[in-house]
Amino acid sequence: MPKLAQRMYDMEGTASIIRALFSAMGSPDMISFGGGAPASEGLPVEEVREICSEVLTRERRGVEALQYGSVLGVPDLRQAVADTLLKPKGIDASSDEIIIVNGGLETMNLMCQLYIDPGDVILVESPTFVHCVEIFEMFQAKCVAVECDDKGMVVEDVERKIKELHPKFVYVIPTFQNPTGKTLPEDRRRRLAEQGSEYDVIILEDDPYQELRYSGKALRPIKYYDKTGNTVYANSFSKIFSPGSRLGFCYAGRDMIARLFDAKTATNSHTSNLVQVVCAEYFNRGLFPEHLKKVCDIHRERRDVMMDCLAKYMPEGTKWVYPDGGLFTWVELPGGIDTGALLPEANANKLHYIAGAGFFVEGNGKGSNCMRVSFGNVTPEKIEKGIERLGALIKSKL
């Protein structure tokens, strides 16, 4: 076979982490805190079936759903994004500043197509979402970690590194961050947007969890504070509608949307019209608010049970994040326990989590005593059983 492109070698390390991540999904007898899926019990199965039954006729939206569509997406879904998802956050968007993409991550891929030449720098959180690092590395970007504290990115370090490294992007998940569950406070959000404008850097804001808030006060997106178009807002329908539909959106300035149009046509032409039409109807029929409440109720209970169980079963000296929303908490173990080394034994005990070290682009064993623990798609009963078992395993190693 011909030689692979250089990017495939550059991404190999992270790709191997992603392969492991996917391969551990879905073994049925495993209690898995590993995946990033929301509760299957909260998926709008009945709503989707009803929508399909009603609108997939020749008289209604059947042909639109099955014929080729527009590159930027189905118009009323883009309008729903503007009206239902952005306006309540103080963002006054026009539907022609929105492109519908194939899942939230595709925005990162397309933005790299637009801006990343090999060797370009992207600043990321420490730790950050490893799946996006895989995308950045496929584009041969150099990912550099920004110092983070218990509130997220330290903006003074962002500024220092912008001046020193001239990055193209600052990639940030400000709300209920993946993997830590932390939320960036308002003053830092404002400052990040300003830094994007001052230094002409793109703040790539990835905000898929922000509707899943179970406690505390909602914050404005970084994009709200952006006055120059340097912040690009990426979001997903995975957590508020359905992950398997692979629907996301990007809100950016018109010039950038025009370029995203080009990259999208050269990637896969457009996102599936069938799922776009179904999702548009989900918003048009006003199903979203009630469904979101149901989804938040399910996940709030799981978050609470997770917090209680960590306190009850984990050994003394363990620390974890109390997430006000989202799907994850981040657990730091005492006694120098290596969560990567422990994983095979955990798996043998029918338990799964994601070892922490893979989320740090700086390497050097950072985070090797940490783990990402998801409560999204684990029932309260299994959370209790699983964390009890995990606590016992860890205690046996101390």
Among residue numbers 17 through 36, which ones bind its own copies (CB under 8 A)? Answer: 18-19, 22, 25-26, 35-36
Restricted to residues 244-263, the positions that interact with its own copies (CB under 8 A) are: 244-247, 255-256, 259, 261-263
Closest to its own copies by CB, 184 vs 274, is 274
Cα(325)–Cα(181) distance, integer angstroms: 7
| CB contact at 8 A, 214 and 248 | no
Helix, strand, or coil (residue 76): helix
| Residues 222-241: x where in contact with its own copies by CB under 8 A, - otherwise, as a string | -------xx-------x---
Map tokens 């891929």 to a residue.
Answer: 109
Closest to its own copies by CB, 203 vs 309, is 203
| CB contact at 8 A, 142 and 9 | no
Cα(194)–Cα(86) distance, integer angstroms: 20
Cα(67)–Cα(312) distance, integer angstroms: 55
How far apart are CB 256 and its own copies at their closest, in Å?
A: 7
Closest to its own copies by CB, 255 vs 316, is 255
Indicate whether 215 belongs to the interface with its own copies (CB under 8 A).
Answer: no
How far apart are CB 79 and its own copies at their closest, in Å?
A: 18
Q: Which of 7, 285, 293, 319 binds its own copies (CB under 8 A)?
A: 7
Strands 148-149 and 152-153: antiparallel
Indicate whether 369 belongs to the interface with its own copies (CB under 8 A).
Answer: no
How far apart are CB 52 and its own copies at their closest, in Å?
A: 3
Closest to its own copies by CB, 149 vs 255, is 255
Indicate whether 73 belongs to the interface with its own copies (CB under 8 A).
Answer: no
Closest to its own copies by CB, 70 vs 79, is 70
342: which residues sit within 8 A by CB, 6+ positions away?
355, 393, 394, 397
- Of 175, 30, 204, 20, nearest to 112 by C-alpha is 204
Restricted to residues 171-200, the positions that interact with its own copies (CB under 8 A) are: 200
- Of 60, 3, 34, 22, nearest to 377 by C-alpha is 34
Cα(245)–Cα(247) distance, integer angstroms: 6
Cα(208)–Cα(391) distance, integer angstroms: 30
Choose the binding region for its own copies from 97-105, 145-153, 203-211, 288-296 (rule: CB under 8 A).
97-105
| CB contact at 8 A, 189 and 174 | yes
Q: Which of 13, 94, 96, 117 binds its own copies (CB under 8 A)?
A: 117
Choose the binding region for its own copies from 67-75, 212-220, 293-301, 319-327 (rule: CB under 8 A).
67-75
Indicate whether 109 belongs to the interface with its own copies (CB under 8 A).
Answer: yes
How far apart are CB 142 and its own copies at their closest, in Å?
A: 14
Cα(81)–Cα(93) distance, integer angstroms: 9
Closest to its own copies by CB, 66 vs 311, is 66
Contacts with its own copies by CB under 8 A: the residue count is: 90
